[in-house]
Chains A and B, each alone.
Chain A
Amino acid sequence: MAVLRQTSRRSRFTLILLVLTSVTLLTLDLRNFEPVEDARRVALDAFSPLKDVADGAFEPVGDAWNGAFGYDTLKAENEELRERIDELNGELALSADAKETLVDVYAELDIDYVGNIEAVTSTVVYGPINNFDHTIEIDKGSDDGIIEGMPVVNSAGLVGTVGTVVSGGRSVVTLMTDPAFRVGMRMVESDDFGVARGQGRGRPLIGFTGIDAELEIEDGEPVITSGLERTLFPAHVPIGTVSSTVKTTGDLDQDVFVDPNADLENLKFVNVLLWQPED
Chain B
Amino acid sequence: MAGPTLKMTVILLTALVLQASLLTQVRFFGASADLMLVLAVAGGLAAGPDRGAVIGFFSGLLVDLLVQTPFGLSALAYSLVGYLAGSASTMVVAAARWFPFAVGFVGGLAGLVIFVLIGELVGEPMLEMPDLPTIAAVVTVTTALLTPPTRRLLTWALKPAESSARVVV
Q: Which residue numbers of A lie inside 8 Å of B, CB to CB?
A: 2-5, 7-8, 10-11, 14-15, 18-19, 21-26, 28-30, 36, 39-40, 43-44, 47, 50-51, 54-55, 57-59, 61-62, 65-66, 126-135, 163-164, 172, 174, 179-180, 199-203
Contact = CB atoms under 8 A, between A and B. Distances in A.
Contacts of B50: 8, 10-11, 14
B31 A131 contact: yes
> Majority SS of interface residues in chain A?
helix
Interface in B18-53: 18-22, 24-26, 30-32, 34, 36, 48-50, 53
B30 A180 contact: no
B80 A132 contact: no
A44 to B, nearest CB: 6
| 5 nearest A-B residue pairs (beta carbon) | A62-B25, A25-B72, A22-B76, A54-B21, A29-B71
A51 B76 contact: no
A11 B131 contact: no
B79 interface: yes
B68 A163 contact: yes
Contact of B75 (A25, A129, A135): A25
A200 B133 CA distance: 12
B90 interface: yes
A11 B21 contact: no
B72 A29 contact: yes
Query: What range describes how many residues of B lie at the interface?
Result: 35 or more
B63 A129 contact: yes
A15 B79 contact: yes
A199 B91 contact: no
A235 B80 CA distance: 46
A19 B79 contact: yes
A7 B52 CA distance: 13
26 contacts: A2-B94, A5-B91, A7-B49, A10-B50, A14-B54, A18-B54, A21-B72, A26-B72, A26-B122, A28-B72, A29-B71, A30-B122, A40-B66, A47-B66, A54-B18, A55-B21, A61-B25, A65-B25, A129-B63, A130-B19, A132-B119, A132-B124, A163-B68, A164-B68, A174-B68, A199-B129
A3 B93 contact: yes
Given A131-B139, A132-B67, A180-B124, A21 B57 contact: yes
Given A2-B93, A134-B68, A179-B129, 12 more contacts: A7-B90, A21-B72, A22-B73, A30-B123, A40-B71, A43-B66, A47-B16, A129-B19, A129-B63, A174-B68, A179-B125, A200-B130
Contacts of B22: 54, 58, 61-62
Interface in B58-80: 60, 63-73, 75-76, 79-80
A7 B87 contact: yes
Contacts of B80: 15, 19
B125 A11 contact: no
